[in-house]
């Protein structure tokens, strides 16, 4: 029992002499901006976050781009507001003298710029397609962050912190890691949120950007072939009317299929629910032959599918009338 008591006393003495065992907090100072990533012309409030002492009894000296803000400085003045100009970078410094006589300083900077997030997916669309080629389920997307001006450092020397769907991704973050490849969900119509925070090595300036990345199902659309052999891409075919006695060709055009699916694509054509093969050399093309005077209305459909474990597929239906 006596030995247990002695051990307890020794533990108390050890705790008493440990660094930081005092109830007094270590004094610290940092600067935060509100809003954290302002735009040009926006009013910004810089606030000094002081720990371990009383802010109301401390004296603050504020500097903006090296010039003291006299009206903003003084006892208990732990914040000041300014309008962000068009300069590439605005630097705020604060010097604090605490009631205990300690002298602390901190620096923070902001820019009017935002990073640009550029992305491209491993899905394909026709060369004439002018829109953004969307990722489809299971596709991979390459994402590149381009820092805005104001850092004064090369892009490869900056720190990139990535998050996907609000989850931090340290394995793809770090110095110079301005790009990564994301495999999107196998579930369609999902929007993924990608955020990058770019900062300098001293952590005194940062920029942030967010990308909302939609996942779109692959599609197949049908277009009329021209007599010259080309395709009329001006509009897809939903209702076609032609004179009986002729041959009419239509092409199925896939959109947003993953690149690994393109060499595997098959086309299942049906007319009035009866299987009809495409042309021998070009299975994505169907020829509808009609007899003179044979009026009819036909339901034409095509189902396009790839292969492998994560097969992608899409279908399209149109009506072809002959008189």
Separation of alpha carbons 83 and 63, rounded Å: 14
Q: Is the dihedral of CA 8, 14, 20, 24 positive or negative?
A: positive
What was the pLDDT predicted at 16? 37
| Domain stop point among 192, 214, 236 | 214
Q: Are residues 68 and 133 in the same domain?
A: no
Domain of residue 201, residue span: 116-214
pLDDT in tens, the chain (323 residues): 444 444 434 433 343 333 433 334 688 999 999 999 998 899 999 999 999 999 999 999 999 999 999 999 999 999 999 999 888 999 999 999 999 999 999 999 999 889 999 999 999 999 889 989 999 999 999 999 999 999 989 999 999 999 999 999 999 999 999 999 999 988 888 899 999 999 999 999 999 999 999 899 999 999 999 887 788 998 999 999 988 988 999 999 999 999 999 889 999 999 999 999 766 678 999 999 888 888 899 999 999 999 888 899 999 999 999 98
**Dmax (CA) of the chain:** 116
Cα–Cα nearest to 211, from 116, 132, 113, 135: 116
Return the structure tokens found at 268. Answer: 């299942």
Each residue of 162-198: pLDDT tens digit? 999 999 999 999 999 999 999 998 888 889 999 999 9
Domain assignment present for 175? yes
Residue 196 contacts residue 209 (beta carbons within 8 Å) = yes
Domain assignment present for 204? yes
Separation of alpha carbons 76 and 59, rounded Å: 6
Domain assignment present for 17? no
Q: Are residues 102 and 143 in the same domain?
A: no
Separation of alpha carbons 195 and 180, rounded Å: 12
What was the pLDDT predicted at 277? 73
- For the domain that residue 206 is a member of, what is the CATH number? 2.60.40.10
| Domain stop point among 172, 196, 214 | 214
What was the pLDDT predicted at 6? 47
Domain assignment present for 149? yes
Residue 101 contacts residue 29 (beta carbons within 8 Å) = no
Find the DSSP H helices in 56-118: none
Cα–Cα nearest to 173, from 184, 188, 158, 191: 158
What was the pLDDT predicted at 280? 62
């Amino acid at each position: 029992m006596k030995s247990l008591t002695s051990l307890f006393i020794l533990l108390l003495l050890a705790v008493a002499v440990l660094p930081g065992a005092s109830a007094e907090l270590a004094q610290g100072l940092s600067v935060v901006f509100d809003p954290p990533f302002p735009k040009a012309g926006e009013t910004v409030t810089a606030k000094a976050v002081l720990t371990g002492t009383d802010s109301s009894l401390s004296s603050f000296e504020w500097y903006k781009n090296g010039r003291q803000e006299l009206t903003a400085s003084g006892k208990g003045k732990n914040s000041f507001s300014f309008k962000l100009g068009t300069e590439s970078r605005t630097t705020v410094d604060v010097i604090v003298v605490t009631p205990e006589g300690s002298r602390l300083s901190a620096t923070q900077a902001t820019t009017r710029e935002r990073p640009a997030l550029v992305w491209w997916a491993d899905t394909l669309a026709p060369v004439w397609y002018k829109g953004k080629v969307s990722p489809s389920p299971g596709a991979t997307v390459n994402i590149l962050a381009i820092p805005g001006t104001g850092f004064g450092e090369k892009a490869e020397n900056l720190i990139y912190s990535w998050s996907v769907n609000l989850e931090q991704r340290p394995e793809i973050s770090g110095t110079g890691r301005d790009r990564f490849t994301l495999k999107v969900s196998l579930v369609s119509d999902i929007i993924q949120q990608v955020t990058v925070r770019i900062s300098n090595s001293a952590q005194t300036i940062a920029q942030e950007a967010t990308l909302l990345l939609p996942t779109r199902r692959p599609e197949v659309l049908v277009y009329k072939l021209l007599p010259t052999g080309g395709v009329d891409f001006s509009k897809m075919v939903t209702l076609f009317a032609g004179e009986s006695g002729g041959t009419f060709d239509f092409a199925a055009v896939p959109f947003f299929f993953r690149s690994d699916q393109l060499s595997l694509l098959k086309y299942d054509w049906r007319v009035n629910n009866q299987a009809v093969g495409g042309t021998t050399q070009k299975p994505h093309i169907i020829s509808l032959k009609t007899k003179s005077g044979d009026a009819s209305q036909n339901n034409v459909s095509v189902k396009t599918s790839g292969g492998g474990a994560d097969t992608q597929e899409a279908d399209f239906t149109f009506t072809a009338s002959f008189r």
